[in-house]
Structure formats: structure tokens, C-alpha cells
Amino acid sequence: MATTKRYDVKDLALAPEGIRRIAWADRQMPVLAAIRDRFEHEQPLAGYRVAACLHVTTETANLMRTLKAGGADVVLCASNPLSTQDDVAAALVDEFDIAVFAIKGEDNDTYYAHIEAAVDHKPQLTMDDGADVIGVLHSARREQLGDIIAGTEETTTGVIRLKALEADGKLGFPIIAVNEAKTKHLFDNRYGTGQSTIDGIIRATNVLLAGKRFVVAGYGWVGRGVASRARGMGAHVIVTEVDPLRALEAAMDGFEVLTMDRAAEIGDLFCTATGDKSVISRSHIEVMKDGAILSNTGHFNVEIEIPALRQLATETREARQFVEEFTLENGHRVYLVADGRLVNLAAAEGHPALVMDMSFANQALAAEFAIANAATLERKVYPVPDEIDREIAKLKLDTMGIEIDRLTEEQARYLASWNEGT
Ligand SMILES: NC(=O)c1ccc[n+]([C@@H]2O[C@H](COP(=O)([O-])OP(=O)(O)OC[C@H]3O[C@@H](n4cnc5c(N)ncnc54)[C@H](O)[C@@H]3O)[C@@H](O)[C@H]2O)c1
């Protein structure tokens, strides 16, 4: 199908491979497929313009198809300059007639020009992963704020920023925080990022994890997943934290908990997963072992102090695709994977489709909910309604062939009472 829309992708000739891979992911996304079938009949998004700024992957492609099936007029740009799968971008344009502005490895100016192109679409609904579209709308394009019914936000870092905007009284339209859904962060952040981060590190470096000291910074949902999967590969995992409760949990889960000052001296591999900045700083890099490998799976590439790493280096070279070697003054070589950007998306393919099925089911149902409830939503950050969370969990269990018990009437009464049971 020839596109009717404006777009900017690497090469439309890549479309056939993208179409094959989108179909492969679709097989692992039955919940989203069921929603797509319903959307096709009910048209809950009919005529609404949507600007989505998400990692341009096969799973995102299936979400875009679902929004389009629901009647939306969709434009997609990337939420990270390195995470775009060029074949998927080409397929969306060529096969599914969806406007895409995204090229893997695009420079910063192109990245922001692509976000502007999505905003030019005059969206009534935004869908962000890291609040970049919302950022542009709240700065350079304030005149468009009034046209927007609502937005959705996919990730922890974006939700933190939007809550800060709300607290300052400056949020321009209602937001549904998809990340806060249990069927999102308990699964995507932990199991999806856990597996795909390890996958990205291994694809980029081909190192054996068994027997290595693997330092995970942050023991949130993402850090827990990375730590448990690295342990599963035989690594000796060290966790660093700033929150005493999370640190205690990591210790009781059996991980060694150290400060980054100490971990920096002994780690073979490092992976930051905090959403914070300068977690691995100049002083840490200075004491690292020869051969230390640094990666990040938090949203932005600020967790490792890359400018300091560049300053400390007497020489740099590309050691492998996605791996840059920095030779320090003391002769030690330190390796940075994927320029410190989300390693699972830059050096691998992001989360497996099966887990994105739930995250993107939340996105689709949050979009439907926002439009259906436009009249009552205020300029606040809202959680995904509990009914949607439970509905998605139930659909997922059904598609996995798992049945669960139901409360009897007597049990329901017992659990709701205060005077029964001694
Ligand atoms: N790579 C991916 O595909 C992917 C997927 C989901 C989320 N994310 C991103 O990963 C990051 C973490 O997400 P999360 O859901 O685990 O968040 P979270 O809030 O559950 O966990 C973050 C943890 O980092 C800790 N932390 C903060 N500063 C620290 C520091 N200086 N040193 C050590 N620990 C520190 C916090 O105490 C917290 O426990 C966010 O940026 C999020 O957007 C990435």
C-alpha cells in the first residue's frame, strides 16, 4: 500500500522485513489483538488525531495498528534516537499507512525535528514514553495545549516529570500514567527490562556473565529484574541503592549491597537503572578495573557521566558495534555500551512482545478511557483505573491458558467482615 502521508524513515525498501517481524510480535500479543478486534467494531477513537512518541519497535507497531483500527489518525515519532527499528518504521508507512518520523541513530536536531513533526499533526491525544511530546507542547507549542483532550505516559521517568508539572500547577491537560498500572510496571519494568537488558549487554559485548561481578545501580522494578536475570546467568550481583528499604530488600533477596564508591573498584560490568543522574560519576570511573563495561537501562543517558568519561580518556575507539573503548591515563580501558542509552533498546530489540502485550493493552484502553471521560478529567496525573488493570490481567491469564479460583460468597463475606474468625 502506498502511503498518503508525510513521513521520514530510513528506507521504505526495508518494509518487507518489518512486516514479517511485526506479524511475529503480533502472535505474542493476544490481549492487544483482542482489543484491536473490538476497536475495529466499536471505533472508540474515530476521527481523533493521536501523536505517539514511543520506541519504534514491532510491539509499538501493533499498538499503532490497534489505534488506527479504533479509528484514530495516528502519527509516530521515536522516544529515543537509538531505539528505532528502521524496518518497522518503513513497514508502518508502506504497509499500514501510518505516518512515522524516526531513523535509528538520528542526531539530536533530527530527533527533535521529528517530535515537532508529530506535534504539527495537531494531536488531540498524546502518547509519550519519557514526556518528550508533552515537553514540547508545554514550551514551544503552548498555543496547542487547549486542543488536547488527554495524554498517556509509558515510563517511570516521564510520570515523575509530569507529577512535578502537576505539582507546579502547570500541567496543561489530563494524563493517564500507564506506567502506574500494575499490569505495566510489575511485568514490563521487571521481567521485560530484566531479560532484554541482559540480552542487549550480551549482544553488544558477547561476554560471559557467569563468574563476573555485575553491579546494578537501583533496586526499583527495573533493577530487580536486571539483578535477578544477571544472577540467573551465573553472575555475582552487587546492588547499589539510596533508599534504605530497597537496599534492605536487595540484601534479603540475597544480593551484596555496596556503595558505588566500593562497587566501582571491583565491578566487571555495571548497569544503571535508577532514573537519576550521575550515578556513575567521574570519581567512580577513575577507580574502575581495566576492562570494566558500563551500560544503562534507565530512561535517559545521564546516569553515567559520559562527559567525564570523555575528559578522562587519552584515547577512544569503537571496539565493536555499540561498544566504545576509552583508554584512561592509568592505562585502564573502560567500555561504554550504546553510548549510555537504554541498552535493551539500542543494542537489542527492547522487551519481548509477550510482556509489551500488557503494557500496550494499557495504552490502548487508557486512550479509550481518556476520550470517553474527556468531560470529567481535570489537569491531573491519573492512575489507570483498577478495572482496566484487572481486565488486562484476566485477559492475559486466559490467553496463557491459566485458570484461577474464585472467592465463594462465604469467603467474600469473611474477608469483608471484622467480627468473624477467632
Ligand atoms: N530500559 C527500559 O526499557 C525501561 C523500561 C521501564 C523503565 N525504564 C526506566 O528505568 C528507570 C528505573 O525505573 P523503575 O521503574 O525501576 O523506577 P523505580 O523508581 O522503581 O526505581 C528506581 C530506583 O533507583 C534508586 N536510585 C535513585 N537514585 C539512585 C542512586 N543515585 N544510586 C542508586 N540508586 C538510586 C531509587 O531509590 C529506586 O529504588 C526509569 O528511568 C525508567 O523510566 C526503562
Encode pLDDT of 287-346 as tens digits: 999 999 999 999 999 999 999 999 999 999 999 999 999 999 999 999 999 999 999 999
The ligand 1 atom nearest the CA atom of 297: 1
pLDDT in tens, 204-238: 999 999 999 999 999 999 999 999 999 999 999 99
> For residue 4, is pLDDT > 70?
no
Tell which atom from ligand 1 comes closest to the C-alpha of 351: 3
Q: 379 CB under 6 A from ligand 1?
A: no
How does DSSP assign 53-109, residue by residue? Answer: E---SHHHHHHHHHHHHTT-EEEEE-SSTT---HHHHHHHHHTT--EEE--TT--HH
DSSP-derived pairing of the beta strands 333-337 and 323-328? antiparallel
CB 59 within 8 A of CB 353: yes
CB burial of residue 142 (10 Å; 0-12, 13-18, 19+): exposed
Would the CB of 297 count as within 6 Å of ligand 1? yes
- Ligand 1 center to 155 CA (angstroms): 10
Please state, in angstroms and rounded to a whole number, the distance separating the CA atoms of residues 119 and 145: 11
Cell reading at 101 = 518520523
Inter-residue contact 411 to 417 (CB < 8 Å): no
- The verdict on the CB of residue 217 being under 6 Å from ligand 1 is yes
Q: What is the identity of the amino acid at 19? A: I
Indicate if ligand 1 lies below 6 Å from the C-beta of 377. no
Q: What does the pLDDT look like over 352-381, one tens digit per residue?
A: 999 999 999 999 999 999 999 999 999 999
State residue 149's pLDDT score. Answer: 97
- Measured in Å, residue 219 CA sits from the centre of ligand 1 at 7
Task: Tell me the pLDDT tens digit for each residue of 267-282.
Answer: 999 999 999 999 999 9
Looking at residue 182, its amino acid is: K
**Which residue among 183, 222, 283, 341 is best mutated to probe the pocket of ligand 1, counting the most ligand atoms within 8 A of its Cβ?**
222
Is any atom of ligand 1 closer than 6 Å to the C-beta of 225?
Answer: no
For residue 361, the model assigns a pLDDT of 97
* Minimum-distance ligand 1 atom for the alpha carbon of 130: 43
The DSSP H or E segment spanning 397 is helix 386-399
Please report the pLDDT score of residue 3 as a whole number: 63
Q: Are 31 and 105 in contact (CB under 8 A)?
A: no
Query: 112: CA distance to ligand 1 center in Å?
Result: 24
Per-residue buried b or exposed e for 26-57, using 16+ beta carbons within 10 Å of the residue's own CB: bebbbbbbbbbeebeeeebbeebbbbbbbbbb
Q: Residue 163 C-alpha to ligand 1 middle, in angstroms?
A: 16
The pTM of the full predicted model, rounded to 2 decimals, is 0.88
Residue 422, pLDDT > 80, answer no
Measured by CA distance, the residue closest to atom 33 of ligand 1 is 241
Q: Provide the pLDDT for residue 195.
A: 97
Question: Rounded to an integer, what distance in angstroms lies between the CA atom of residue 197 and that of residue 271?
Answer: 9
- C-alpha dihedral sign at 219, 357, 11, 47: negative
Distance 126 CA to ligand 1 centre (A): 23
pLDDT-derived band at 419, boundaries 50, 70, 90:
confident
Task: Tell me if 344 CB under 6 Å of ligand 1.
Answer: yes
Q: Tens digit of pLDDT for each residue in 75-105?
A: 999 999 999 999 999 999 999 999 999 999 9
Does the pLDDT at position 130 exceed 90?
yes
Query: d(Cα 327, Cα 335) in Å, to the nearest integer?
Result: 9
Number of C-beta neighbours around residue 182 at 10 A = 16
> Distance (Å, rounded) from C-alpha 192 to C-alpha 178?
16
Q: In a 3-state reduction of DSSP, which class is residue 215? A: strand
